[in-house]
Amino acid sequence: MRRVVLELASVRPIWSVPAGSVTAIREAFGAGWEVISIASPSSSDGDGAGGSAEAVEAAAGAEVYMGWGAAPAVVRKASGTLRWLHTAAAGVGGSLTNQLHESGATFTNSSGVHAEPMADWVLAALGFCARGFHAAVGAQARREWTKDAFTDGSLTIRELGELRLGLVGLGGVGRAIARRALALGLTVRAIRRRPDLSCPAGIAWVGGAGDIIQLAQQSDALIVTAPRTAETHHIVNGAVLDALPDGAHVLNVARGDLVDEAALLQRLDTGKLGGCVLDVFATEPLPEDHPFWTHPAVFVTPHVSAVSDRFWKRETSLILDNVRRYLAGHPLENVVDFESGY
């Protein structure tokens, strides 16, 4: 019997694989396949984890493994038989080990599965910034009726349709954001590693990573959606932040280390920036004494922009499509490129 190991239970209930998905995957592989579903929950945070004792034992002789990340212990145990490894996480930085590369197994991820809820988060955050909700939240906490601040010109209130949006990254999440923003009348520009690839119609301009200063100069809101790689570490640095128009906002749903947090805090303290909304941080959980918690121009969410009750519907669809492709000997979707890092 050819073996499949599913290590898709999660300590976070919303990410834990439902029984119906396990059944559908088992049926998709069909006769001649032993599909073992591991009951022990794994961490689905960040790039994921895994490799419980139960999963490692089951991985011996496995041809396919699906879990939260590529656990080194699993790759080691399945050495010589592993042909396909899939992670239910979108991020893969923690999984790209030499051991996995040398195994020769095809590695797929869940890029794009989170695009819709993350794009919703960004649009909600844009409204929060543009319409002065940050001031309203603070006033409510102080029980202050601050109508004067909204009407005397001291608080900048803007319509969404007049904003210029800059996307640092134009993958699945960036494209979903662009579609929503364009529908609301925003002007959208972007940079990406390969600016020649197709993108949603209506985007005003797409450049390469070297054009980020030009992007910043034309962005009232800079949205960070790029994958974490060696090249994107601190891609939003002090020079990029200085290039933003005064009063601009920064929103990050990618990974915390894509933004130089010290430089960001400095520009917030001087009033150069209007504020920021952050879902990801260089250190997670965000330390209790971090100045982001109490800064009046910062709104924090705890790495939850991707949360959706529709995740397993999309994830199961992706897995089943790739199972069909694998059994037919066709190329898989979402194959990770070790060289590019995503």
Q: Which residues contact 302 (CB under 8 A, 6 or more apart)?
A: 279, 284, 285, 286
Q: Among residues 2, 303, 324, 325, which one is catalytic?
A: 303
Long-range contacts of 199-208 (CB under 8 A, 24+ apart): 199/170, 199/175, 200/175, 202/178, 203/178, 206/170
**Is 255 marked active-site?**
yes
Q: Among residues 86, 175, 255, 267, which one is catalytic?
A: 255
The CA-based dihedral angle spanning residues 124, 281, 311, 18, taken in that order and rounded to the nearest 10 degrees: -140
Token pair of 307 as six digits:
């949360």
Spatial distance between the Cα atoms of 216 and 220, rounded to a whole number of angstroms: 8
H or E stretch at 212: helix 212-217
H or E stretch at 72: helix 72-77
**Is 2 marked active-site?**
no
The answer to whether 309 and 14 have CB atoms below 8 angstroms apart is: yes
Residues with a catalytic annotation lie at 255, 303
